[in-house]
Chains A and B, each alone.
Chain A
Amino acid sequence: MTLLALDWILMLEKLILIAIIVFASLGIALYTTFSERKVAAVLQDRPGPNRAGPMGLLQPLADGLKLIMKEEIIPNSASKGLFILGPAMAMTAALMTCAVIPWSSSVELFGRKIDLQIADINIGILYVFGVVSMGVYGIMIGGWASNNKFSLMAALRGASQAISYELAMGLALIAVLMISGSLSLKTIVDQQMAPGAWWNIVYQPLGFILFFVCAMAECNRTPFDLPEAENELNMGYHQEYSSMKLGFYLFAEYVNMIMSSAVMASLYFGGYDVPFLDESTLAPNIAAIIGVLSLLTKIVIFLFLFMWIRWTIPRFRYDQLMNLGWKSLIPLALVNMLATGAVILWQQG
């Protein structure tokens, strides 16, 4: 069916896929907040939320309901338009990343081959970086529009932190790109999936550690949660926010975590690849389902790692944060990049 030079069934297919992925991400994010509390609890020898529903499983719904029912407050001195735009930006930027992540190989339904990736654009990873840096605007706008010193301080910290760590992140990424020779996430995953190929983590252990640290900083997770430092900045950039606007900010953090876990899994841990299993021998639909499960497992492991670190390490001081970013991570990333380049040249030469 082609009308106006558009493949309408493809449009429909992509729309459904977008809906599924967005709602699945939101649902997973909802339960990430729950598991965050549970993980925090067991790491601190307490049971955690266990009252709402069996084992407390309805807790995130109760939390969400509470946030929605709260009074919507916009301070008089706030810049109203920007005040609303801030959380909207944060949430949109967080969700937009999922467009280029290859969730699995393709399934065959109704005689059509459907890729489980919203858009396989050939600059996928650059798109991710672009969108992630847009997320900083959410923090910046929120902090600025609140018209509050603490919020502004937090926004400044958030922006400088994101910019500093994005550099090291980009440099760590370049080493991966030199190995794969492609910016498309799908191609990068496919290369790691090929029989006999190793995951990129084998070639890039240092690069992965750098990328992981930077991803943590980008998500504003402890030990890099300076923008929302509760005890020094009174919750930082979302201090003036209430109701679901606050919910959006908190939620965006979890969506960001999921997306960066997915990106890390795709870049370094073979995406939807199952180790020691040749997917091409399986029926495509089964392979796709196994692939989704495998990627989700990797994401969950990363999320646990994020939480585990959060409940272990205290927050960095601001100067320590900058020292780590500029004096350690960036030089290390540069060395890693040069070494990778040298090895590639030597192998070709």
Chain B
Amino acid sequence: MQALTNRAKEVSREPMTFMERLYLPNIVKGMAITFSHIFKKQPTIQYPEQKREFSPVFRGLHVLNRDAEGRENCTACGLCAVACPAEAITMEAAERMPGEEHLYREEKYAAKYEINMLRCIFCGLCEEACPKDAIYLSETFAPANFTRKGFIYGKDDLLIPNKNNAPEEYAAARGAARV
């Protein structure tokens, strides 16, 4: 029979030779292999102390962006919720009142914005759908939680801290590598 790939190996059905029937030489060979692994480099990363760098395209926890003046970008258009294949995003819109111009960039904003992190598949389609550059996937990931409720992230969890008065929190929310 013709093999489909060049990696196919014919199984030998020959009876074992005397050396093979002795077991021990092959066992010694195997033990030499395991012994050589003592001197190999361990790929382990000691997690809480050492962290592995994410690649720049890593899709992690979402953040809701602010503009340069610290105003929320999101206008609650709902395109992210439409794009979301896992239906993880819900939102409620509200109108900006006079005197709130320093908080919201446009006349409409999201009064409620929730992402269920248990439903989310971190595909990044919301990021692509957003016309206002409001939602981004950062380079952090959702920490563990004890209850299902804890995984429904509201606006207070998602909204990125203001770059102007809290730069450190801002950097932490974005993730380490991408600056």
Which of A's residues lie within 8 Å of B, judged by CB? Answer: 42-47, 50, 209, 308-309, 311-313, 324
Contact = CB atoms under 8 A, between A and B. Distances in A.
A321 to B, nearest CB: 12
Contacts of B44: 46-47
Given A45-B43, A312-B31, 16 more contacts: A42-B37, A43-B37, A45-B37, A45-B42, A46-B42, A47-B46, A50-B46, A209-B24, A308-B31, A308-B34, A308-B35, A309-B27, A311-B34, A312-B27, A312-B34, A313-B30
Interface in B23-37: 23-24, 27, 30-31, 33-35, 37
A45 B44 CA distance: 8
Contacts of B24: 209
A45 B36 CA distance: 10
Contacts of A313: 27, 30
B42 to A, nearest CB: 5
A44 B37 contact: yes
**B contact residues, range:** 10 to 19
Contacts of A45: 37, 40-43
A42 B40 CA distance: 9
Contacts of A311: 34
For chain B, what secondary structure do more than half of its interface residues adopt (helix, strand, loop), or is it mixed?
helix
Interface of B: 23-24, 27, 30-31, 33-35, 37-38, 40-44, 46
Nearest to A311: B34
A324 B38 CA distance: 30
Contacts of A50: 46
Contacts of A44: 37
Contacts of B27: 309, 312-313
Contacts of A43: 34-35, 37-38
11 contacts: A43-B34, A43-B35, A45-B43, A46-B44, A47-B44, A47-B46, A209-B24, A308-B35, A312-B27, A312-B31, A313-B30
Nearest to A51: B46
Contact of A42 (B30, B31, B38, B43): B38
Nearest to B36: A43
A209 B23 CA distance: 12
Contacts of B30: 312-313
B98 to A, nearest CB: 57
A172 to B, nearest CB: 15
A68 B165 CA distance: 53
A46 B37 CA distance: 10
A312 B30 CA distance: 6
Contacts of B38: 42-43
A39 B35 CA distance: 10
A117 B90 CA distance: 77
A50 B34 CA distance: 21
B40 A309 contact: no
Closest 4 CB pairs of A and B: A312-B34, A43-B34, A312-B31, A312-B30
A100 B24 CA distance: 32
A46 B27 CA distance: 23
A308 B46 CA distance: 25
Q: Most B CB atoms within 10 A — which of A42, A44, A47, A308?
A: A42
Contacts of A324: 23
Nearest to B33: A312
A214 to B, nearest CB: 14
B25 to A, nearest CB: 12
A290 to B, nearest CB: 29
A329 to B, nearest CB: 11
B42 A47 contact: yes
A63 B24 CA distance: 35
A10 to B, nearest CB: 46
A77 to B, nearest CB: 36
